[in-house]
Amino acid sequence: MSVTSFQDLPLADRDREWDGDAAERRVREWAGAEDGPNEKYRDAHVWYDAENKNNFTAYKLLIADVVDGRLKAVPRGVMAAAAVMQGSRGGVDLPDKDRDRVRSHLAKYYAKWDDEPPWERDG
């Protein structure tokens, strides 16, 4: 099980809508991963089960989409992943040892648009 390396993807516009299913389809096509996941496909996610890396179901926390032919982190996708990490939508089943690294990964994108992730805010 593994947290992906931080890719420092360029950011899409902050107000860009997030449709995870549509983003998934575009990322698969862009990555040439229609038949199975590959490294380019992995870069669009924050976490994957390395022991099952040849299965699409091993990849979790998609945060990127293809915008104008380039893979970009979508702020609303990052926010959705952060919400899932906070337990929204049933949460996500990740090993406890990976949770801090996932949060760190997501926090780097929040910092890129000068914001704090929900777990660092007061209240």
Q: What is the pLDDT of residues 71-119, one digit of tens each?
A: 999 999 999 999 999 886 667 889 989 999 999 999 999 999 999 999 9
DSSP H or E stretch at residue 59: strand 59-62
- Give the tokens for residue 36: 């199975």
Please name which of 113, 8, 1, 102 lies closest in space to residue 64, comparing C-alpha atoms. 8
**pLDDT at position 123 over 60:** no
Report, in this order, helix, strand and coil percent for the chain, each rounded to 5. 45, 15, 40
Residue 81 belongs to domain spanning: 2-120
In angstroms, rounded to a whole number, what is the distance separating the alpha carbons of residues 109 and 95?
A: 22
In angstroms, rounded to a whole number, what is the distance separating the alpha carbons of residues 22 and 70?
A: 15
Question: How many domains does the chain divide into?
Answer: 1
Angle, vertex CA 44, rays to CA 41 and CA 49, nearest 5: 70
Look-up of token digits 């380039």: 70
pTM: 0.93
- Which position has the higher pLDDT, 38 or 92? 38
Residues, the chain:
123
